[in-house]
Amino acid sequence: MPSIVIAQGGGPTAVINQTLCGAILAARRHDPSVRILGARYGVRGLTAGNVVDLTAIPEAQLRRLGNTPNSALGSTRDKPDSGACADILAALDRLDARAFVYIGGNDTAGTLELLRQQSSGPCHFVHAPKTIDNDLMENDHVPGFISAAAFVANALVSMDLDFRAMPGIYVAIVMGRHAGFLTAAAAGWQQSPDDAPNLIYTPEKPFSVVQFLDEVDAIYARLGRCIVSMSEGVQDEAGQPLVEALAGEAVERDAHGNLQLTSGDLGIEIQKALKSRFPKARARVDTLGYLPRGYIGVIDETDRKEAFAAGAFAAQNALTGSGSVVLHYDGDRIEPLIVPLERVAGKTRHMPDDFFAGSNTVSDEGRRYFRR
Round to whole Å and give the CA distance between 344 and 74.
23
Q: Is the dihedral of CA 174, 146, 178, 293 positive or negative?
A: positive
Can 364 be counted among the known catalytic residues? no
Q: Which of 98, 101, 76, 94 shows the shortest CA–CA distance to 25?
A: 101
Spot the catalytic one: 78, 133, 135, 160: 133
In angstroms, the Cα distances linking 239 to 37, 176, 242 are 43, 15, 9
Which H, E and C letters describe 149-170, residue by residue? HHHHHHHHHHHHHHHHHCCEEE
In angstroms, the Cα distances linking 322 to 18, 70, 90, 283 are 21, 26, 18, 51
Cβ(74)–Cβ(63) below 8 Å: no
Cβ(13)–Cβ(69) below 8 Å: yes
Pairing of strands 199-201, 168-174: unpaired
**Sheet hosting strand 51-53, strand order edge to edge:** 51-53, 35-39, 3-8, 97-104, 124-129, 323-329, 334-339
Cβ(321)–Cβ(346) below 8 Å: no
Catalytic center residues: 133
